[in-house]
Copies of this chain bind each other. A is one copy, B any other.
Amino acid sequence: MKKETTIRAEDTGPGRELTSEFISSINLALDQNKTNDAIGLVQSLHYADLADLLENLAHVRREELVEALRSDFDPNVLAELDETIRERVIDQLGISQIAEAVAGLETDDALEVVEELAADEQIEILESLPENERTLIEEGLSYPEDSAGRLMQREVVAVPQDWTVGQAIDYMRDTNDLPTDFFDIFLVDLSHSPVGTVPLSRVMRTNREVALIDVMRKHIKIVPVEMDQEEVAFLFRQRDLISAPVVDNNTRLVGVITVDDIVDVIHEEHEEDIMRLAGVGEEDDLYSAVIDTAKSRFIWLLIHLIAAILAAYVISFFASTMEEMIALAILMPIVAAMGGTASVQTLTVAVRAIAMKELTMSNAYRAIGKEVAVGILNGIIFATIIGTVAWIWFGSPALGGVIGLAIGLNLIVAGFVGSSLPIVLQRLGFDPAVSSSAFLTSITDIVGFYVFLGLAAALLL
């Protein structure tokens, strides 16, 4: 949630859309050194759109624009920026201006900016903050990365459990440092543990004299401060939550997580899954430097290289077979392609199901059985298609039979290994999205080549 010092109308800007034409006109203004025109153009942008614009500009243009905006740079833009770009903007603005900006953010956004900084910069910024704000951010930094503690906002609305609706309304009208926007009131007991939540819409609809405890949701989901953000996101999605109380190890209420931050977490976690499946780093995006991107992809390419060399080694056993029948060498890539495609399909479904908590140990056998059945079905169909193609192409029904058999078997292996491997890896504590794919391709390649060339050596020569 964003911090605003006073409530007033017209606080979100006219919401101009970021069209290509708009970006072009900004670029043009900067090109022609018409700084004031550029400032004029972006002045009415919502901070989220301004962040998008900065991400979209080339390095030099972005630096020019940030420089132009320097004196009235909206701190909320910082929290919205992509990490790589944020770092550059922070460097450019300089630590003293960042300190000022951080002071203008709510704790969750401030923490997001501060946690990305180098240790010495963190100290410098923290020292320049008012004491109570500094304490809150230091506490936030003490929680594990990606935990509820890093995500929560410290400003909460908590009232004693024996209050009435009327008392709560009067308290809210009279208190100045409430969060700008909030959705639930938390009822706490004498030890400041949350005992229930009252959605604001219920407070609204209930008469002043009614006790809050009579309209509260009692069996609420309470988030421990150390809970992983992925778990928190699961809770929110499962229960359609808008906000949830966060408690420390003594079950004292210490903060609140709101759904807008969860939307970002869900995004991040999905991003991680899809990126890991493809073997690219999570921070591999348009904005990261060429060298960082190349590095982040190197390991994955290397692992696949090793797997491919292993497969080539298997093939080398059959060098003389291939010399006698070069059609085998020609058809080999088809064996690899089909096994690879089928395993990526199975793997993706399994990895997603694990991430969604749909695939667990209690239904693992059923899931694996299903994938094997799918492998058998498509295996028979593709064995027939490819067998026929090879027969016609090379005029050898036996060759057709051999490649058909190899590919049919390969699809079944892909179904079995593609579904069981991620389950086993997950069980062993590895991330199935990261570790499965190279493994799997190498298994289907080796099985495929071995069956194909081995059968050919035994039956065709």
Contacts and interface: CB of A to CB of B under 8 A. Distances in A.
Per assembly, the copies of the chain total 2
B260 A263 contact: no
Interface residues of A, number: 142
A9 B217 contact: yes
A46 to B, nearest CB: 7
Contact of A370 (B24, B200, B286, B311): B286
Contacts of A114: none
A240 to B, nearest CB: 4
A280 B331 contact: no
Given A274-B277, A274-B352, A338-B305, A445 B333 contact: yes
A117 interface: no
Contacts of A55: 358
Interface string A231-262: 00000111111100000000000000001101
Given A280-B345, A286-B370, A201 B218 contact: no
Given A266-B263, A336-B336, A349 B280 contact: yes
A377 B275 contact: no
A73 interface: no
Contacts of A218: 9-10, 12
Interface string A1-37: 1100001111111110000100110000000000000
Contacts of A196: 9
Contact of A275 (B14, B312, B336, B352): B352
B216 A9 contact: yes
A413 to B, nearest CB: 14
Contact of A363 (B286, B307, B312): B286
Contacts of A329: 315, 319, 322, 326, 328-329, 332
A441 interface: yes
B12 A217 contact: yes
A23 B220 CA distance: 22
Q: Is the interface of A mostly helix, strand, loop or mixed?
A: helix
Interface stretch (A64-72, A121-129, A145-153, A295-303): A295-303
Contacts of A373: 290, 294
A332 B48 CA distance: 49
Interface stretch (A88-96, A132-140, A380-388): A380-388
A111 interface: no
A192 interface: no
23 contacts: A9-B214, A9-B215, A9-B218, A13-B219, A52-B238, A58-B363, A178-B205, A179-B201, A200-B201, A237-B267, A259-B260, A262-B263, A270-B270, A271-B352, A274-B352, A286-B367, A290-B370, A294-B373, A297-B374, A298-B378, A305-B337, A315-B333, A322-B329
